[in-house]
A = this chain, B = another copy of it.
Amino acid sequence: MSTSRDDPRLGLVEALGAVAFAVMGALTKLAAERDLSLTQLRMVGLLRDRQLTISELALALGLDRSSVSGLVDRTEKRGLVRREPNPADARSVHVTLSTSGHEAFAAGASEMAAMLSSLTDALSPAEAARLTTLLERMLDHRGL
């Protein structure tokens, strides 16, 4: 990619970076308020409507299985998730959200929206819709 100053995409990269840090900062703060790491928060989000094995979680989170094993240990100790046997394969476990994990997710989701509203409130509904479309186009263009 060129570094020419009048390439509109250069400003985009910078703006994307700045927004990403702002969003991650808000999410990290939100997680910290509940004494959770960002990774734990992501895991809870992934498990909100399904159960996943350690390997599946590792793939989704981009982590090694051993890292996820410890992550589940700590999150299980906090009562947010549970390990359950996988009837189809005795080697594997299903990680599921506990009741208090579901509650934590529900509370966190609305707080997340509230936190990010300090960003999104800058836009009118029409602009927000246009921005959403553009962001989703970018996301669809590749994997995640």
Contacts and interface: CB of A to CB of B under 8 A. Distances in A.
B20 A23 contact: yes
Interface residues of A, number: 54
Contacts of A59: none
Given A129-B8, A142-B119, A23 B15 contact: no
Interface of A is mostly: helix
A144 B21 contact: yes
Interface string A19-54: 111111101000000000000001000000000000
Contacts of A18: 135, 139, 144
A32 to B, nearest CB: 11
Given A13-B113, A119-B142, A121-B141, A24 B24 contact: yes
What 6 pairs across the A-B complex have the smallest Cβ distances? A122-B141, A20-B23, A15-B135, A8-B129, A1-B113, A20-B20
Interface of A: 1, 3, 7-13, 15-25, 27, 42, 62, 109-110, 112-114, 116-123, 125-132, 134-142, 144
